[in-house]
């Protein structure tokens, strides 16, 4: 079986169709709204949260059952209806239209799966089981959350801020890799853990400029 390709999608202002209005559809819609997507929800009934979002015009709600053609124009689709037959119809239409589709049940009917994500500042760590066990993915994410020091995520952000300067000063890939390794292995993470971001920045800047 071919491996699945993990991707991070920029869905800001992109139309995404969600078919279903229950708890699963709510989880999908929450994540999509946080990602800035233009959510189009199709369901006869909604959870209280989804109704509130629709009333506030934060998503578009078509108060009816799914019908053929609802996926047209979407960048991405989520089949989260209570009926596996409806989900299969949505998946089939999405496949024919060249639209990736996540299917709640059965998950193997979809062309993409949503990873269990651990969002940190500037860094997202995600776990996927290729749709086999979303529960296991969530538990693995919890283990990672407990094990991953938050200062490392902040260090990644600081390295990102220095990236333009690194690219100017160090002209080769090997040179850039070496300087990043020195920064990552420096005492900057310890300074961040102690709440001393100014000290961490000073360490990184010294390394960048060729100091100790």
* Per-residue pLDDT reduced to its tens digit, 55-107: 999 999 999 999 999 999 999 999 999 999 999 999 999 999 999 999 987 87
Q: Which of 114, 122, 113, 123 is nearest to 144 (CA)?
A: 123
Q: Which two tokens stand for residue 212?
A: 């100790």
Sheet strand arrangement including 76-79: 60-62, 38-42, 15-19, 76-79, 100-103
Q: Which two tokens stand for residue 23?
A: 């708890």
Q: Are 101 and 77 in contact (CB under 8 A)?
A: yes
Q: What is the CATH number of domain 15-113?
A: 3.40.50.720
Q: What is the pLDDT of residues 22-55, one digit of tens each?
A: 999 999 999 999 999 999 999 999 999 999 999 9
Q: Is the confidence at residue 211, as pLDDT, over 60?
A: no
Give the other-Cβ count within 10 Å of 52's Cβ.
Answer: 11
Distance, in Å, from the CA atom of 160 to the CA atom of 156, rounded to the nearest integer, reads: 6
């Amino acid at each position: 079986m071919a491996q699945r390709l993990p991707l991070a999608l920029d869905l800001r202002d992109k139309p995404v169709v969600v078919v279903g209005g229950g708890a699963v559809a709510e989880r999908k819609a929450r994540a999509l709204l946080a990602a800035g997507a233009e959510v189009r929800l199709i369901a006869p009934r909604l959870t209280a949260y989804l109704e509130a979002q629709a009333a506030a015009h934060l998503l578009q709600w078509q108060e009816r059952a799914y019908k053929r053609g609802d996926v047209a124009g979407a960048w991405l689709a989520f089949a989260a209806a209570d009926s596996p037959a409806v989900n299969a119809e949505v998946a089939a239409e999405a496949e024919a239209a060249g639209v990736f589709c996540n299917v709640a049940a059965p998950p193997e009917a979809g062309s993409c799966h949503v990873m269990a994500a651990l969002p940190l500042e500037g860094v997202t760590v995600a776990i996927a089981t290729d749709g086999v066990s979303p529960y296991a993915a969530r538990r693995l994410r919890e283990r990672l959350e407990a094990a991953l020091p938050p200062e490392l995520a902040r260090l990644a952000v600081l390295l990102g801020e220095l990236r333009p300067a690194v690219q100017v000063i160090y002209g080769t890939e090997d040179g850039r890799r070496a300087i990043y390794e020195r920064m990552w292995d420096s005492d900057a993470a310890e300074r961040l853990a102690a709440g001393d971001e100014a000290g961490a920045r000073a360490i990184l800047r010294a390394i960048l400029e060729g100091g100790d």
